[in-house]
Structure 1
């Protein structure tokens, strides 16, 4: 039998070149990644919210975000494009201001929230009023009530919860770990200050007509003062309470902390320390008034360790502090 002659070289199929193989591999990886992202975002999931409710999440593509820290977290997780509306406390990042405003978080209208056709509502605990929240809870749109913690650990847990809700657990872990790491580094620096050298500082919510409203225990302001290494003389009082002239003199604060309010002028040191309740305090003698952006200072979102660091730097200019984010 006659043997077949080998095919001419020109008829032998060529193996794909290196660049072709790389292109094919890249395309396959891209398809797999896109598919995984779509599956992560679209896959139904259930979460237990701050009220112990089990909430079934079918989609997290169109989110109404209620609460400044909630909105910050969503943007920090790279999900800002999914936020279709936000409340009036959601002032950061600046891009959030471009989204429709559904009202103040404690004075919501259920109709306003639902009018933007969300498929998910994320609302911080304390949102209201009760009547509006009850309507939202009874609506067909899933609503997840989120905790409002005043600690770095609590913030990390809230970040993890939101990340799980929107299908971004890996990004959530990175962000949560970063918050706790920065807070731990600050706490280590603060620990070097002897207890008897801690600065006495108070937070004033308002000073209208010499009626001073000071922050006590179980408030964001008290937690921030503590995180920054200060001693709050009103720490034994619960919540925000009026402080009499006698109580203020007895407190002997070395610094007064206040916040900037959107659309309002910054508190003026001359005006503040001219108040009879404050004029005889060490803070007045040193003109030590520290004014910070309200959401940054009291929002307890991902920037909390940085805000606490900045406040600590104002209290203790000579203290070696960890670098900010």
Structure 2
């Protein structure tokens, strides 16, 4: 692969080195590994190193084998005692995990850990793979996986490269008491929409916020994108379409709602190329078929 792959892999390697200085050296002992962050757990399995894992956080729900591991809690609300109960010899932590005090306790307890940077981008996925591979002492295997993922992402992004009319997408995180929490810029949702050739309908703020009815109408989404999962984020299509403001948007009038599994859609790991492809097809299926790109996976 002499086209873009070496350049992207070089960028990924540089990102891993600068953001994770010690990652070039493997853990002294990673025979009992705890992985915090669903994408990191997926990468460990994709590298063929799943037998090292003795624990995961609650966001790690793929592959199915991961569900047999002890669930040590939510990545942003870790209990040091819970993590230590797995008897880890090493800990991989996705950036944003914590709280910091919990990581301090783990470090004081003598458990080596490394924080892997989270960057919601094509290159960011490759950097995560490189960081995990270096930490586990399998850089060659990581390079091979990176090349495979790089090529898959190139093909997925190419699906919508020539789409002239980009669809406006409103990512709805939750509907609570009639209040619609939606993604602005700088989120995994914002990034996946762009990779799939869509346009985020909300750019006035960063992160996730509750939208006023006026803001929903002004966003003019063609499509509403949601995670297909229960819990606090559960909302039926009927719940969403019952919003008067949603009803005044193109997405509401046409009842155009796309749902994808949250970890699959927003994980930015080994499956992201497939997620981009599925979202692109959901957004532009007919147009892609007309251009002969519908079977591009």
TM-score, structure 2 normalization:
0.88
Secondary structure of residue in 2 paired with 1:78: coil
- Shift in Å, 1:192: 0.5
Distance 2:19 2:102 in 1: 18
Question: Among residues 113, 126, 129, which one is paired with 1:156 in the alignment?
Answer: 126
- Shift in Å, 1:174: 1.5
Distance 1:222 1:313 in 2: 17
- Shift in Å, 1:143: 0.2
Structure 1 residues 311 and 142, CA gap change in structure 2 (3 angstroms): same
Alignment of 1:309 onto 2:242: no
| Partner residue, 2:110 | 140
- Where in structure 1 are there 5+ consecutive unaligned residues? 1-46
- Shift in Å, 1:262: 5.0
Distance 1:312 1:202 in 2: 15
- Shift in Å, 1:263: 5.5
Contact 1:201 1:253 in 2 (8 A): yes
Alignment of 1:226 onto 2:194: yes
Instruction: After TM superposition, list the pairs within 5 Å mapping 1:111-122 onto structure 2.
Output: 111-122=81-92
Distance 1:269 1:262 in 2: 13
Q: Which has the larger radius of gyration?
A: 1
Greater relative CO (CA pairs within 8 A, separation 6+): 2
Structure 1 residues 117 and 305, CA gap change in structure 2 (3 angstroms): same
TM-score, structure 1 normalization:
0.80
Secondary structure of residue in 2 paired with 1:144: strand
Q: Deviations over 1:265-298 (max 9, x none)?
A: 9632222111122111110111111111010001
| Partner residue, 2:43 | 73
Distance 2:109 2:247 in 1: 53
Q: Deviations over 1:189-239 (max 9, x none)?
A: 211012xx1001110111111211111111000001101111112134211
Alignment of 1:212 onto 2:180: yes
Q: C-alpha root-mean-square deviation of aligned residues, in Å?
A: 1.9
- Shift in Å, 1:140: 1.1
Contact 1:50 1:125 in 2 (8 A): no
Q: Deviations over 1:39-68 (max 9, x none)?
A: xxxxxxxx9684656777211111001000
Secondary structure of residue in 1 paired with 2:199: coil
Secondary structure of residue in 2 paired with 1:65: strand
- Where in structure 2 are there 5+ consecutive unaligned residues? 1-15
Aligned residues: 276
